[in-house]
Amino acid sequence: LGEPLPAGAPLDPLVSLFLRREQRQQRRERQSSLAQRLRRFLRRKFFLFRRSALMTLIALRNLALGRPSPERLAQEVAFASWRGEEEEARPEAEGGAQRGPEL
């Protein structure tokens, strides 16, 4: 990690895909406007706060009422951990600059 490979060593296809994706992400973040950076920051903080609040409520409920079935608990944790992946999956060019202001 972080060290260059020796000369002539083949690069794993999954590693190269990951590295290209990370480079694209870093380039996009560096080239984004202040408004886009602020939006991304607020979105991250919102989902962090949302997950913290929901997990706290789940824990308090479990203390008061007892632990639910593992299936229900798994569903609740999955809901609390949701970050809007389907929105994050689309490229910024499609979702950000071409759309109008969201109200």
Residues 63/50/27/85 CA torsion (nearest 10 deg): 90
Total length of the chain:
103
Residues 52/53/59/62 CA torsion (nearest 10 deg): -150
**Position 102 confidence tier, pLDDT thresholds 50, 70, 90:** very low
Q: What is the pTM of this model?
A: 0.57
| pLDDT per position as a tens digit, 47-77 | 999 999 999 999 999 999 999 999 999 999 9
Q: What is the pLDDT of residue 95?
A: 45
What average pLDDT does the chain have?
81
Q: Give the mean model confidence (pLDDT) for residues 8-13.
A: 76
Cβ proximity of 87 and 43 under 8 Å: no
Task: Specify the higher pLDDT residue, 32 or 98.
Answer: 32
Q: What is the DSSP track for 75-89?
A: HHHHHHH---HHHHH
Q: Which residues of 37-50 are buried (b: 16+ CB within 10 A; e: fewer)?
A: eeeeeeeeeeeeee
Cβ proximity of 77 and 96 under 8 Å: no
Q: Rounded to an integer, what distance in angstroms lies between the CA atom of residue 40 and that of residue 48?
A: 12
Q: Give the mean model confidence (pLDDT) for residues 75-95.
A: 70
